[in-house]
Each structure stands twice: as C-alpha cells, then as structure tokens.
C-alpha cells in the first residue's frame, strides 16, 4: 500500500495518489467477505473512524525540511485505507447505507488530506484538511437523528400595525426522541418531547403511567473490564448543557455497550432510581443493564429471595457462561426475560406453569451437584 507514496512530486500529483489509494481501498474491500454485522461491530467502525478523525494532523503552513507532521500523515495512511476497505465491505453487506456512506465519504476525505499533507503539498493539504474536518463533522454529528419541531406559530413579538408588543409566544425548542420506559415490567418505547437545554428530564411513561428519568449525555469515552461474570463500565460523558461527568456501573447481561465518542446517549433510570438502560440515541442501540446476580424469570415465579434462585444463579455462572452457546442463551434470556417475567407476574396461571417448569429444572440442577 505504501509503495504508492514513493512518488516524485514533480511527475505525480499528490491528488492523483490520493485517488489511487481510494481506488485500491475499494478493491481491497472485496477481500473482506464475512464481516460480522452486529450493531456493535458497526459502532466499533464508527469509533475507529472518530479516532482517525481526531488524529488528522494540522497541515503545516509552510514547507520545512524533515517535517514531523508529514511523517505522521504518512504513518496514518495505512490505517485510514484499511479502515476505508472495511467500511466499504460493511456498507456492501448491510442496509445501514446512508450513515455508512457519509462515514465512507469522511474517511476518503481524510485519505486525500493525509496524502497531500504527507506529500508536502501546502495549499492542497490546507484545503483538503478543511474538507476532511467538514466531512468528519457531518458524519459524526448526531443532529440528523433528531427531528426538531418547528414553533407552532411565528407570531410577531411586536406588531407594527397595531403597535401591540407582548412576550415571545414561541415555545422553547424541543426535540422528539424515542425512549424506552425504564421500569422493569414495561420497557416499551414511545416518543417523548425534550427541551435540549437540560440534561436530566423526568418522564411519565405514556404506556404504563409510571415515572422514569432520562439523563442526556454526549459520550466522550468508554472503558470496560470484566469483573467475574459481569462487565464493569466507566463512561466519560458530557451532559447536555455542559460540564463533564463519569459514570460507573456493572452489567451482567452479557450484552454489549455499543457507544462511540460523540454519540448522544440517554441513561434511563427507573422510578426507584436504579440504572435500567443505556440507550444510544445516535444508533438506536439499547443495553439493558442487569445487576450482578439477578435472575428475573425465576424471581417472578418464586418471589424475591427464594432459595431456588441460588441454584439457577449457580447454573448460569458455572454451566452456561463458560460456553459460547450458553452465553448466547443468557444474552437472549436477559433480552426477552424481563418481558416474559412481566407477563408471568401479571398472570397467576402462567406463574404456576413457569414455577412448575422451573421446579423440574431445579430438581435436575440439585441432582447434578
């Protein structure tokens, strides 16, 4: 890939080389046949793109001998073209075309800028870097995922004809977002209107009428490490309206926290104040947070604190989680279990049936030990 950079500036223009590298990256994309297309995989590519965008060096204002900026640009090129290939391959295989297309455009703009900067082309480097920044901003802004409501009336504050002046009747700007109810028995999505000036908003679920709270933040960074069978997340965020804060929580759901820097997310807290979910408003991905040691279907059938629960927890931790198929089951269970548990709790017949089934399983589990 880098041999294309062994140019002589006199007979080969840096612009040509940029286009050539982009064509090669497109051809390379054909080599990635089986890409995993989970939302988390797409988000990982977005995160990688965001990192590349941040790494673009400031183009030099004049030509210097042994300019380290040029070296840095050349160093970044293989990373940029490889990312471009994977993005193109992913776009081909997925239907998330529009968002990936803007991202691909932005990475291509970065390849052009890096080639120009690396080649020491001062004026082209300056122009192309500016184009690359614009493209990156368009590709990573979360604005396109919201619908801004236009003010209902554009009535004049001061009417020249009548001479009447009054307070500004326009409503505060608001945006409509789809939020999931944070209460465990509900978890259903509905549209809500939010004034984007504040980060914390109280809602009443329009479906179950219970209260929940949403804390709106822009993601700055995510760190995770496993703690036993759970994941410990450290989330660096900037709350909407300013400031900076860090959020730490554990999650045993085996799900993925698919967040990239600059994503807009909402932390959803139930009426009792516990963190229920992290919803990525930029991508629509939701992680339902499961506290360590929770097992809601059995809890719904047997009641909180029942001795049967220990056997199921042990089964999950000792038998299911060490195997890939078991982990997939646990993931599916945590995704659909709460929904099932809510219905079980509301229906005494279903509760009896599930308790009977689980008792049979429980007997088997105890016999296994």
What minimum distance in Å lies between the beta carbon of 43 and Zn ion? Answer: 26
How far, in Å, CA of 76 to CA of 57, rounded? Answer: 9
Nearer to Zn ion, 100 or 286 (CB): 286
Closest CA relative to residue 296, chosen from 344, 228, 364, 346: 344
Nearer to Zn ion, 206 or 347 (CB): 206
Beta strands in the chain (DSSP E): 147-148, 158-159, 164-165, 175-180, 189-194, 200-204, 211-227, 230-239, 245-251, 264-269, 275-280, 286-288
Nearer to Zn ion, 229 or 345 (CB): 345
What minimum distance in Å lies between the beta carbon of 339 and Zn ion? Answer: 12
Beta bridge partners of 246: 236
What minimum distance in Å lies between the beta carbon of 341 and Zn ion? Answer: 15
What minimum distance in Å lies between the beta carbon of 182 and Zn ion? Answer: 8
What minimum distance in Å lies between the beta carbon of 188 and Zn ion? Answer: 6
Provide the phi-psi class of 35: left if phi over 0, else alpha when psi is between -120 and 50, else beta: beta
How far, in Å, CA of 335 to CA of 206, rounded? Answer: 22
Nearer to Zn ion, 205 or 311 (CB): 205
Nearer to Zn ion, 186 or 295 (CB): 186
Nearer to Zn ion, 205 or 290 (CB): 205
User: What is the binding site for Zn ion (CB under 5 A)?
Assistant: 181, 186, 205, 207-208
Provide the phi-psi class of 150: left if phi over 0, else alpha when psi is between -120 and 50, else beta: beta
What minimum distance in Å lies between the beta carbon of 204 and Zn ion? Answer: 9
How far, in Å, CA of 173 to CA of 231, rounded? Answer: 38
Give the SS3 label for residue 232.
Answer: strand
Can you read off the two tokens belonging to residue 25?
Answer: 């990256």
């Amino acid at each position: 890939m880098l041999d294309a950079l062994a140019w002589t500036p006199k007979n080969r223009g840096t612009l040509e080389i940029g286009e050539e590298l982009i064509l090669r990256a497109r051809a390379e994309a054909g080599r990635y046949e089986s890409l995993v297309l989970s939302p988390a995989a797409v988000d990982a590519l977005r995160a990688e793109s965001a990192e590349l965008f941040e790494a673009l060096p400031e183009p030099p204002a004049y030509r210097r001998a042994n300019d380290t900026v040029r070296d840095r640009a050349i160093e970044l090129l293989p990373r940029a073209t490889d990312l471009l290939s994977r993005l193109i391959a992913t776009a081909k295989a997925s239907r998330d075309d529009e968002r990936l297309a803007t991202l691909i455009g932005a990475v291509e703009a970065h390849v052009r800028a890096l080639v120009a900067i690396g080649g020491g082309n001062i004026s082209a480097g300056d122009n192309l870097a500016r184009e690359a920044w614009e493209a990156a901003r368009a590709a990573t802004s979360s604005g396109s995922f919201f619908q801004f409501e236009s003010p209902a009336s554009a009535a004049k504050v001061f009417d020249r004809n009548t001479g009447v002046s009054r307070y500004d009747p326009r409503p505060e700007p608001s945006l409509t977002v789809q939020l999931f109810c944070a209460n465990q028995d509900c978890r259903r999505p509905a549209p809500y209107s939010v004034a984007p000036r504040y980060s914390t908003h109280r809602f009443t679920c329009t479906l179950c009428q219970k209260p929940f709270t949403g804390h709106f933040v822009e993601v700055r960074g995510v760190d995770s490490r496993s703690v036993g069978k759970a994941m410990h997340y450290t989330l660096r965020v900037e709350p909407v309206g300013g400031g900076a804060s860090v959020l730490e929580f554990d999650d045993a759901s085996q799900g993925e926290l698919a967040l990239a820097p600059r994503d807009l997310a909402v932390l959803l807290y139930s009426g009792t104040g516990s963190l229920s979910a992290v919803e990525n408003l930029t991508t629509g991905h939701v992680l339902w947070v499961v506290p360590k040691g929770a097992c809601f279907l059995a809890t719904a059938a047997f009641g909180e604190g029942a001795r049967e629960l220990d056997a199921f927890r042990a089964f999950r931790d000792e038998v299911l989680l060490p195997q890939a198929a078991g982990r997939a089951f646990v993931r599916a269970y945590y995704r659909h279990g709460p929904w099932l548990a809510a219905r079980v709790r509301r229906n005494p017949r279903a509760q009896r049936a599930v308790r009977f089934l689980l008792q049979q399983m429980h007997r088997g589990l105890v016999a296994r030990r």
